[in-house]
Amino acid sequence: MAFKVTIGQFYNTKSIIHKLDPRIKILVSFAFMVLVFFADSIVLNVYIALALLALIYLSKVPLKVVLKAIRPVFFFLVLAGLMNLFFVQGGNVLANLGPITISEAGLNAFFIYTFRFLFLVVAGTLVALTTNPIQLTDALESMLSPLQKLGLPAHELSMMLSIALRFIPTFSKEAERIIKAQSSRGADFESGNLIERVKLFIPIIVPLFASSMRHADNLANAMDARCYTGGEGRTHYRELAIDKRDITALIICAIYLLVFIALKIYL
């Protein structure tokens, strides 16, 4: 029985995009996502698409991998697109298929919204593909740290997140072992009706839960033994630092934004 889990979507390679400070990547991708909502003409959408294609190229992540990463939302994308196509009415009627009419406004909405959604997903995916999970949690901590003054436990939150990420492969291995052990005792995970199968989850979940308790206990002891205390005054093995590369990236993004605004106003 195959039981595989991949951690996040991180695609490990060396590229300019991978080397950027994760905080920059998160901020820029957020800004970019907002920008996508202002792209309401064909020219602006092409401009957005070009930026994404350039980023994919620079990130050295094969296009195939990007497409694979967005596959889960593809169905939703198509469904939402068709909804727009059939139900948005206005302007000239282009086609009449029985009860369904396709209008100019509908066709317009189909393109704009489908691509808008696609751009959003690709932008988010690119961050996930080019930033390893540990860096992401570090960035999260760093970005949330101003809120610490308001009582938000930023360090603890990101610590929880990185421990959770760290244990995904451990538990997937453990689950595989437990499945093997229980199927050796006659549990059949490959046939039987739905109720039988659901019942068979108990012999997997309970030992897995017990093992996660064991791991948590051990890890807590190990951290305690090394005098781990929470966030205040704690330094990092890898400090996040904005360097020349990040500044350059930000300047390019600013220029990109200005051109976008110019296109929006004058076209």
Partner 1 sequence: MSIVFDQVSYTYGPNAPYQALNQVSCTIELGSFSGIIGHTGSGKSTFLEHINGLKTPSSGKVLINGLDTSNKEDKKDIRKLVGFVAQNPEHQLFAETVFDDIAFGPLHTGAKEEELTSIVEKSLRRLEVEPTAELLASSPFDLSGGQQRRIALAGILAMEPQILAMDEPLAGLDPQGRQQVLKLCQKLNNEGITIVMISHSMDEIAEVADHIIVMNKGELIEHGRVEKIFSEPEKLKRLGLDIPEASKYYFELKKRGVDLGDFVYTLDQLADAIAAYKVGGVDGI
Of 21, 27, 51, the residue nearest 122 (C-alpha): 51
Element (H, E) at 100: strand 100-103
Q: Counting contacts by CB under 8 A, is residue 211 touching partner 1? A: yes
CA-based radius of gyration for the chain: 24
Q: Counting contacts by CB under 8 A, is residue 216 touching partner 1? A: no
Q: Which three-class secondary structure state does DSSP give residue 239? A: coil
Contacts of residue 246, Cβ cutoff 8 Å, sequence gap at least 6: 20, 21, 24
Q: Which three-class secondary structure state does DSSP give residue 174? A: helix
Q: Counting contacts by CB under 8 A, is residue 210 touching partner 1? A: yes
Q: Counting contacts by CB under 8 A, is residue 234 touching partner 1? A: no
Shortest gap between Cβ of 168 and partner 1 (angstroms)?
18
Figure out which of the listed residues 8, 153, 207, 231 binds partner 1, where binding follows CB under 8 A: 207
Q: Counting contacts by CB under 8 A, is residue 13 touching partner 1? A: no
Q: Counting contacts by CB under 8 A, is residue 180 touching partner 1? A: yes
Query: Rounded to whole angstroms, how far apart are CA atoms 109 and 113?
Result: 6
Figure out which of the listed residues 54, 181, 247, 255 binds partner 1, where binding follows CB under 8 A: 181
Q: Could you tell me which stretch among 90-98, 124-132, 150-158, 206-214 binds partner 1 (CB under 8 A)?
A: 206-214
User: Is the CB of residue 116 less than 8 Å from the CB of residue 49?
Assistant: no
Which region holds residue 98: left if phi is over 0, alpha if psi is between -120 and 50, else beta? left
Q: Could you tell me which stretch among 35-43, 96-104, 176-184, 217-225 binds partner 1 (CB under 8 A)?
A: 176-184
Q: Counting contacts by CB under 8 A, is residue 187 touching partner 1? A: yes
Q: Could you tell me which stretch among 131-139, 158-166, 180-188, 238-246 binds partner 1 (CB under 8 A)?
A: 180-188
Shortest gap between Cβ of 171 and partner 1 (angstroms)?
12
Q: Which three-class secondary structure state does DSSP give residue 102? A: strand
Residues of this chain that interact with partner 1 (CB under 8 A) are: 174, 177-178, 180-188, 202-207, 210-211
